[in-house]
Amino acid sequence: MKVSITRAAQNKTVRGVAAALIWLLVWQILYWIVGEDLILSSPWTVLVRLGQLITTGDFWLTVGRSCLGILTGYAAGVTCGILLGVLTRRHGFVYDLVRIPMHIVQATPVASFIILTLLWIKSRHLSIFISFLMVLPVIWSGVDQGLSQIDQGLAEVAKVYRLSRWQRVRHVDLPAVAPFLKSACRVALGFAWKSGIAAEVIVTPIGFIGKKLYDAKVTLVTADMFAWTAVVILLSFLFEKLFGLLLDRLPGREVRTHGPK
């Protein structure tokens, strides 16, 4: 069994590397076709520029500020989404009251919220709020859906054996909610990064990744624009993997939101 699992993991890694190399080749071919660095930088040029950026202290300060803001908003969204999901599942009126604004948030373009909230929130703090706002309805929906799947038979058994509230949460509620919460957290993390960086690009707070992207676009430094975009993608991938390891510690089978691997 262990051998088959290891072999499957190796095959998955090989397929992932092969797919990445194919897309890099496509990128390089497009660069040859375009033949203009101002429009499209080559993979090698972007890699060299990324290497230059990494060696500067300003790069790490910029990355740190953006990560701190976006992850703070993400953590706040997850926490409030869990609490709100528990509250709305217990009280039907609260659910009806919350459901409307949650759907409005999900349906409204991120740019609209960025422009509106800029009137009340300082630009350097906007990515925190926007990330929080995009994460909240996703987590709330996942927790609410998970709580609706609780086995009522197990709930009755918990009452019969007079389990404490913590014991009920651990043995009945958490196993039912965990699969939906895992899936929601993974989806919400992607939303947090996209919306947080979008907020930074629009409001251009000094010392953040969004400001670097905006400056590269204004000054027509295409290599910088691609390099900072690569940084955003790599950070999103890295944190997805790190959070995935933490989420896998929760009980319950994962609810997949994508096709077969």
Report the pLDDT value the prediction gives residue 160, as an integer from 0 to 100.
53
> Among residues 73, 46, 66, 87, which one has the least CA distance to residue 211?
66
CA distance 251 to 86: 18
In the 8-state DSSP scheme, what is residue 172? Answer: I
Whether 256 has a pLDDT exceeding 70, the answer reads: no
> pLDDT category, 261, cuts 50, 70, 90?
very low
CA distance 135 to 188: 5
The mean pLDDT value for 241-255 works out to 69
Q: Is the pTM of this model over 0.85?
A: no
Q: Which two tokens stand for residue 7?
A: 């072999």
CA distance 231 to 96: 41
CA distance 260 to 258: 7
The mean pLDDT value for 93-105 works out to 87
CA distance 132 to 63: 19
In the 8-state DSSP scheme, what is residue 120? Answer: T
Report the pLDDT value the prediction gives residue 227, as an integer from 0 to 100.
93
Report the pLDDT value the prediction gives residue 250, as an integer from 0 to 100.
64
> What's CA 70's distance to the chain center, in Å?
9
Residue 211 carries which side chain, given as an amino acid letter? K
CA distance 156 to 260: 37
Between residues 219 and 159, the one the model is more confident about: 219
Q: Rounded to whole angstroms, what are the CA distances from 125 to 60, 89, 121, 152?
A: 19, 31, 7, 43
C-alpha torsion 50→52→57→60, nearest 10: 10
Query: For 163-189, how does the pLDDT look when each residue is reduced to its tens digit (9 = 90+)?
Result: 555 555 555 667 777 788 888 898 999
> pLDDT category, 259, cuts 50, 70, 90?
very low
Whether 253 has a pLDDT exceeding 90, the answer reads: no
> SS3 for 54?
helix
How long is the chain? Answer: 261
